[in-house]
Each structure stands twice: as C-alpha cells, then as structure tokens.
Amino acid sequence: MIITLGDAIIFVAFLALVIGISLYASRGEKAGGEAYFLAGRRLVWPLIGFSLIASNISTEHFVGMAGDGFGPRGLAVASFEWIAAVALVVMAWWLLPKFLQAGIYTMPQYLEYRYDSLTRTLMAVVLTLLTIFALLVTVLYSGSRGLDGVFGFSDMAVEHFGMSRGAAVFWTTWAGAWFIGICAAAYTIYGGLRAVVWSDLLQGGALLLGGALVLYLGLKIVGGGEVTEFGVEGGSVFEGWRTFAAENEDRLSVGLPARDPVLPWTALFTGMLIPNIFYWGMNQFIVQRTLGAKSLAEGQKGIFLACAFKLVMPFIIIVPGIIAFQLYGDTILERAGGDMGRAGELAYPHLIAQIMPPLLRGVMLAALGGAVMSTFNSGINSAATMYTVDIHNTFVNKNTTGRQEVYIGRTATAIIALVACVMAPLPGLFEGVFHYIQEIWGFISPAVVTAFIVGLVVPRAPALAGRVALILGPLLYALFRVPGWVMSGLGFGWEDGAVVRNEEAAGVAAEVAFRFFTMPYLHHMFITFLVLAAIMGVITWRSPLSEPRTMPVSNIDVQPHPLRYVYGGLILAAVLVLYIIFW
C-alpha cells in the first residue's frame, strides 16, 4: 500500500488524539488503587460497552479470524462471536451482580472470598502469566504481521537488505511489536484503567468505522464496482451481497460437519460456552471494566451494548476475509507460497491494500493501529492489577498504601509491556494466530470456569475443591491434547476418514487413541469441565463446609436494570435467528 501525506497526517492525528484525551481524562487518577485500577468505580455504560469490544477485537481477529474466513471454514468461526453474546448475557444476569456486591478488584480476589488465599494465588499467578503469553504476545505478533501484510515491510527487508525471507519476517515482526508496545504502554502506565477506557472509546469507534468501510467497499467491488485511484467507482452493495452469497454459499454456513477437526457443529452444545464464559465473565482482562462500573445497572447496559456489537462483528471481520478469497485468492496464496495458513494471515491486510483509496487508508491504518493498542493496553493494565493486588499486596507488602499501589502498578505495567515485546515472535511457531490463542487459553479456562460455577452453585464446596480444580485442570487438558500432538509427530494422520501411520493402516488401539486425542479442543475443554465438576462434587460430598462462606457486601449500587431480562432476551433471540439463517 502506498501511503500519502494525507494518510500519514490522519494516522498521526488520530494517535495524538487518543493519547491526549486518555491522559487528560485520567489526570486525577493518582490518589489510590481504586482510582488507578478501577477508574474510581465511575464508569458509565457507553465507556464500558465500547471498552469491552475494543479490548476484545484486535488484529488476532483482523488477521486470524478473517484468515479463517479466507480458509475453507468461512463463516463458521462466527460462532465465537455469537456465543460470546450468550456468555455476556450470562455475565449481565448472573455473574456481575455477585462480583459487584462483593466489591472485588480482581477475579482471583473473589476466589479468596469464596475459597481461600491459596486458591486466589493459584489463579492470580496462572492468569497473569497467560495474559502475557497468550494475550499480549499474540496481540503484538498479529498486529505487527497485519501491518507487514499492508505495507510489505518484510518484502522491503528482503529486497533492500538481502535478508532471507524467514529472517525478514522475524525482524520486522519484532520491530513492529516494539513500536506498538511502546505507543500503547505510554499512556496506560500514567493513567490506568480510565486512560484505557477512554482510548478504547476512540479506538473502538475507529475500529467499527474502518471495518464497516472495508465491508462496504468490498461488496461494491463484488457488485460490479472498479477500484480507481480515487476509490471504488460504480457497483451496488445489495447486488454485491447477492453475488457474494451465491458464489460463497459453502463458506456461509456456521454448521460444519461433526468430524471437522477444529469447529464441528457439535461443539456449539459442548465446549463452545466454556472459553466464552471464562473470557467474558471470569477473565480479569475483560471483567475489569465492568468492575469499575458506576452501578450494576450501568454495567449491565454496557454489557448489552457490547452484545449488540458482537452480533455484527462477523460481518465486519469474517465476511471481508471471504471477499478477499473471492477477489484475490490466487494472488494471496501465491504471495504466501501456497501455505493456506499464512495466506489467511495476509487476507485482510491484502484486501485493504487493494481497495482503500487515499485518505481512507489513513482511517483504516488508524483502525488497525487502534485495534492493536486498545487490546494491548487493556492486557497490560489487567496483568499489572492482578500482580499488584493479588501477588504484591499478599506476599511482598501487605500494608501497601494507595499511592504505593499506583507506583507498583505503573512499574509492573512497564515491565509486563517489555516482556511481551521481547516474546512477540512466539506465536509464529504455531499454525495460525487464532488457533494459538484458543489452544493456550484452553489450559486454564475449563479449570477456572469449574471453580467459579461450582463455587457459586454449591455453597458448601470447600476450599480443597477449588484448589484441586485449578491445579488438576491444566494437567487434564494437557493429558487430552499432548498425546495427539505426539502421535501426529510420529506419522499418524487421517486418510479418507481412516487413521493411518505413514500411509499404512493403524491398529485398532492406535486408531481409537488417535481419534480421541485429536478430537477438537472444544470437546476436550468440555470433557475437562465435566471431570473437574465431578471431582469437586466428590470432594464436597466427602468434606463439605459446615457453613457456607460469608461473602463481603460492598456499598456499590447493585440495583439491577429494570429491563435487563428484556434486553438479554432480545440478544438471545437474535443469536437464534442468525443461526437459523446461516446454518
């Protein structure tokens, strides 16, 4: 993509606007931990809704999810967005009232109130590490690869510096990660959560505007429009959709066969809800902005706003990936050396490089940059919050003052950002960004969901049950996943629906083992959840609490929104209608 002076001015002006407003909005957040980590519990619903979406949607979506749209699964990956809306409704109706009533700062803190301090520490340590290595590293990697896909930095390195292709990709990815990380960390270190949510409001708006613009121009081209130096001339969006739907009918189904190795339709009724409930209801990275709500009603309205955005996100992100395949599939595959996974990573960037006119490129560049920074700043803020509140204040200094908490939080934010930048090339070792992040989170999400759900539903579940779930969960998931990776490395695979090893039929025992250990990771998550719930049930049966734990009661306004069931019901009905239309 050729960037004009006007594009550069738009991008720099947008970046300056985000930093300036974020710093201004957070200028008073210096007094103590609640002000720095939870924005003084004064967040209103538009800030919460936009922040939830902007924090969630990043270039692992524009690069990874759009890449899945480019691949053979097409729209099926929309289930991660639509089931997320269901999980958000669960959060608004059931989880958030309990969290705000307890007045917690962090999710591990809630586990201490429900179980004990050791359970809190286990979750805090694991969740902090995974926020760094499964979230922040992925955001930096995918953001840098997305920018490279648009501007061809690695191609320049090969052409002008004589680097090999692999070295060029590595060094340009690393350099891009440092640029993104430094820009996003600058205002987050100073302003805390209030700086984050105000930047999210601006970046989320740019994200939605830019994504909708790419979809609009892509459909115009499919509908007969032509790309000129001044934009897309001619063409009809409505005719473009009719043509697009007719030519991509096989990619517009969300119901993949039961034998699909990644996202079979059966996963919608087994494991799909587990990572979504964990992510939207128990992950500090997301939940922190709802914990900062002015009241329960404001938090619920913000969640329902985020639900509305999640319903349309597949059309803004995945459909353009399919359009990229329809318009430029051969070119993108050739550019990726025939590797479909790498081609998927290039699909969305290649599309915008081809169809965006001057000046609007600056808008899209701002949207992509904002998507990366909004997720990254939310991640480093939440990781620093957990370190400060759950680890430092517990093991280093239990008498930390409010001002000391802010200093420690800022220092932790800077260190976490630096570690993420150093480790940014890590996801490149895996097959696809979206696959990497989902697989890694699978080690903890079933354990956390089980510990929370059983603890909420079974009042007499003892602390031992919660600890066992958090310790055993990652081990069980590894037991289910790792043998499949090993067997694949030893030559086992699928051939015409049968299991073979090095092109020879496998034995019955080997075939049964391979089929189990290579089933979709969502099924393994569901099995892990069931096993852990059963174990917690047995522990509770043998050693129940004599009395249910007494939870603290905060002074936060926990009066629920009067229309919460109406709004939530409409969201659930909309999800059902979308599945009926695109099944």
Give 337-348 pLDDT, tens digit per residue: 777 767 777 788
Structure tokens at 310: 């999640």
Spatial separation of the C-alpha atoms in residues 434 and 516, rounded to whole Å:
23
| Residue 328 vs residue 527, higher pLDDT | 527
Spatial separation of the C-alpha atoms in residues 113 and 9, rounded to whole Å:
51
Residue 431 has pLDDT above 70, yes or no: no
Give the pLDDT confidence score for residue 477 in this predicted structure.
94
What is the dihedral sign for C-alpha 347, 247, 355, 11? Answer: negative
Q: What is the pLDDT of residues 454-486, one digit of tens each?
A: 999 999 999 999 999 999 999 999 999 999 888
Spatial separation of the C-alpha atoms in residues 73 and 67, rounded to whole Å:
10
| Residue 482 vs residue 134, higher pLDDT | 482
Instruction: Specify burial of residue 299 (Cβ count, 10 A radius: 0-12, 13-18, 19+).
Output: buried
- What average pLDDT does range 543-558 have in this prediction? 90
Is residue 358 one of the residues assigned to a domain?
yes
Least confident of 93-102, 493-502, 548-557: 493-502
pTM for the structure as a whole: 0.86
- What average pLDDT does range 280-309 have in this prediction? 92
| Helices 296-335/564-582 angle, 10° precision | 20
Is residue 528 one of the residues assigned to a domain?
no
Is residue 430 one of the residues assigned to a domain?
yes
Residue 179 has pLDDT above 80, yes or no: yes
Is residue 497 one of the residues assigned to a domain?
no
| Residue 191 vs residue 116, higher pLDDT | 116
Residue with tokens 């089980």: 450
Give the pLDDT confidence score for residue 429 in this predicted structure.
64
| Residue 199 vs residue 383, higher pLDDT | 383
Give the pLDDT confidence score for residue 333 in this predicted structure.
83
Residue 546 has pLDDT above 80, yes or no: yes
Range of the domain at 214: 5-18+33-249+286-435
Residue with tokens 């286990």: 122
Q: Is 529 helix (H, G, I), strand (E, B) or coil?
A: helix
For residue 447, give every residue at least 6 positions away whose Cβ sits within 8 Å of its Cβ, in sequence order, or none.
469, 470, 472, 473, 474, 477, 528, 532
Band of residue 428 on the pLDDT scale cut at 50, 70, 90: low
Residue 497 has pLDDT above 60, yes or no: yes
Cα of 286 vs its chain's centroid, Å: 9
Q: What is the pLDDT of residues 272-291, one digit of tens each?
A: 899 899 989 998 888 988 99
The pLDDT mean for the chain works out to 85
Is residue 57 one of the residues assigned to a domain?
yes
Q: What is the pLDDT of residues 347-406, one digit of tens each?
A: 887 888 788 877 777 777 777 777 777 788 888 888 888 888 888 888 888 777 777 888
Band of residue 435 on the pLDDT scale cut at 50, 70, 90: low
Structure tokens at 406: 């802010």
Q: What is the pLDDT of residues 235-284, one digit of tens each?
A: 888 999 999 999 888 888 888 888 777 788 888 888 889 989 998 999 88
Share of residues in the chain with pLDDT > 70 (%) = 94
Q: What is the pLDDT of residues 1-52, one digit of tens each?
A: 566 777 778 878 887 888 888 778 776 555 566 677 777 788 899 989 988 8
Is residue 397 one of the residues assigned to a domain?
yes
What is the dihedral sign for C-alpha 322, 148, 372, 439? Answer: positive
Tell me if 297 sits within 8 A of 559, measured CB to CB.
yes
- What average pLDDT does range 319-327 have in this prediction? 90
- Distances from the Cα of 288 to the Cα of 212, 230, 361, 385, 563, angstroms: 28, 43, 33, 9, 23
The number of domains in the chain is: 1
- What average pLDDT does range 66-92 have in this prediction? 89
Tell me if 115 sits within 8 A of 468, measured CB to CB.
no
Give the pLDDT confidence score for residue 2 in this predicted structure.
62
Is residue 262 one of the residues assigned to a domain?
no
The CATH number linked to 56 is 1.20.1730.10
- What average pLDDT does range 518-532 have in this prediction? 92
- Distances from the Cα of 177 to the Cα of 158, 297, 302, angstroms: 19, 38, 31
Band of residue 501 on the pLDDT scale cut at 50, 70, 90: confident
| Residue 430 vs residue 194, higher pLDDT | 194
Is residue 572 one of the residues assigned to a domain?
no
Spatial separation of the C-alpha atoms in residues 119 and 78, rounded to whole Å:
34
